[in-house]
């Protein structure tokens, strides 16, 4: 990227929302590049995400602080969830959370705020941008659901973890001749379940974008089990049956109450055990998908995204978020992508190819 003249900058940076592999790698990439291409740049890391900006909790970062964190999981700055819907809520005479952040941005004399986060983080970043703060977003989430980018950092590590777990479950399912429902993270979108299911050889993949039919699913399991010792179903945590989709909110709440606090995979295991008469088990992978060292690809893309963000800061390209399109880095305007979700197209090439290979989607 062609850059303009060097200039002094005071930059704030934070990691917000759920943690994921690659946060520290992005932080390192941004800081190392910024220290190298800018004169006298100051970088302040806000602690615990947007909460640190609200409460003015931060520390100045040096090259030594980020030099050896490429392989480290989690985030050295800490993170927290700050619901977007509460950002502009007024409580008495107290300023809103958004007003507190804008005020502290100005009091600290920041030239730029860099936010590492997912969908909620980007919506709040867009609000800050509209309020006059110079913001650059860096796309993080294992869900891979940020609109306008082919990939988010952290996604491929989560795919590796989930796929590896499903492959291991296959061996125990074969040993005991059972049906396993393996729950993968993804409340609103199914990218992670789709990729992990394909990479692990799952027999069936259930995602939020495609409602499943309980009776047809039971029929598939019976047919598959007649020719195989085991059946593996990769289940996104936000899946919904066609029967549930046709219910009102009240009706669905009453229906789900019979399962208590059971997760999607646990509910499916119970229902399919009853419908098929087979031994069905469930496994919830949970937060293990977000933890640990990033894979090599995420280390690479995280470093690249971080460094690209530093170049955007240097040339004063604000109000944007970095994106990856066709293996090239670029950026989108925050106001154009905030609040939008990249969903798995039910008639997209990946789903159609999977169906052509005999993978069932519950329809």
pLDDT tens column, 71-100: 999 999 999 988 888 898 988 888 999 999
Q: Judge: domain 10-153+294-337, CATH 3.40.50.450.
A: yes
Q: What is the mean pLDDT of the chain?
A: 94
Look up the pTM and report it.
0.93
Question: Over 70: is that where the pLDDT of 223 sits?
Answer: yes
Average pLDDT of the segment spanning 62-77: 96
pLDDT tens column, 100-146: 999 999 999 999 999 999 999 999 999 999 999 999 999 999 999 99
Query: Are 145 and 188 contacting, i.e. CB atoms less than 8 angstroms apart?
Result: yes
Where do you find CATH 3.40.50.460 in the chain?
Answer: 157-289
The residue annotated as part of the active site, out of 19, 143, 160, 298, is 143
pLDDT band at 147 (very low <50, low <70, confident <90, very high): very high
Question: Is 93 among the residues known to form the active site?
Answer: no
Where do you find CATH 3.40.50.450 in the chain?
Answer: 10-153+294-337
Q: Which CATH superfamily is domain 157-289 in?
A: Phosphofructokinase domain (3.40.50.460)
pLDDT value at residue 6: 47
Question: Over 80: is that where the pLDDT of 332 sits?
Answer: yes
């Amino acid at each position: 990227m062609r850059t303009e003249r060097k200039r002094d900058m005071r930059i704030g940076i934070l990691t917000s929302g759920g943690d994921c592999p690659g946060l520290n790698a992005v932080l390192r990439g941004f800081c190392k590049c910024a220290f190298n291409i800018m004169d006298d740049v100051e970088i302040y890391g806000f602690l615990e995400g947007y909460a640190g900006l609200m409460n003015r909790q931060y520390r100045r970062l040096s090259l030594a602080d980020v030099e050896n964190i490429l392989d480290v999981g989690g985030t050295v700055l800490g993170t927290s969830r700050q619901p977007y819907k509460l950002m502009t809520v007024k409580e008495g005479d107290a300023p809103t959370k958004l007003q507190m952040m804008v005020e502290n941005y100005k009091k600290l004399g920041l030239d730029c705020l860099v936010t590492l986060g997912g969908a909620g983080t980007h919506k709040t970043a867009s609000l800050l941008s509209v309020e006059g703060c110079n913001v650059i977003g860096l796309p993080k989430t294992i869900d891979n659901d940020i609109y306008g980018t082919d990939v988010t950092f952290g996604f491929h590590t989560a795919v590796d973890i989930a796929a590896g777990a499903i492959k291991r479950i296959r061996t125990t399912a074969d040993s005991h001749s059972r049906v396993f429902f393996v729950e993968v993270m993804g409340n609103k979108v199914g990218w992670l379940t789709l990729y992990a299911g394909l990479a692990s050889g799952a027999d069936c993949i259930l995602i939020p974008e495609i409602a499943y039919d309980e009776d047809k699913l039971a029929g598939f399991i019976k047919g598959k089990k007649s020719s195989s010792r085991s059946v593996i179903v990769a289940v996104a945590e936000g899946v919904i049956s066609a029967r549930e989709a046709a219910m009102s909110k009240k009706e669905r709440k009453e229906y789900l109450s019979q399962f208590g606090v059971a997760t999607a995979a646990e509910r499916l295991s119970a229902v399919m055990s009853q419908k098929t008469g087979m031994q069905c088990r469930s496994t919830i992978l949970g937060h293990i998908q977000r933890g640990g060292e990033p894979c090599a690809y995420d280390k690479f893309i995280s470093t690249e995204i971080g460094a690209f963000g530093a170049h955007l800061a240097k040339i004063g390209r604000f109000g944007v978020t970095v994106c990856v399109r066709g293996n090239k880095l670029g950026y989108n305007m925050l106001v154009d992508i905030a609040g939008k979700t990249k969903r798995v197209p039910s008639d997209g090439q990946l789903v159609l190819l999977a169906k052509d290979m005999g993978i069932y989607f519950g329809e």
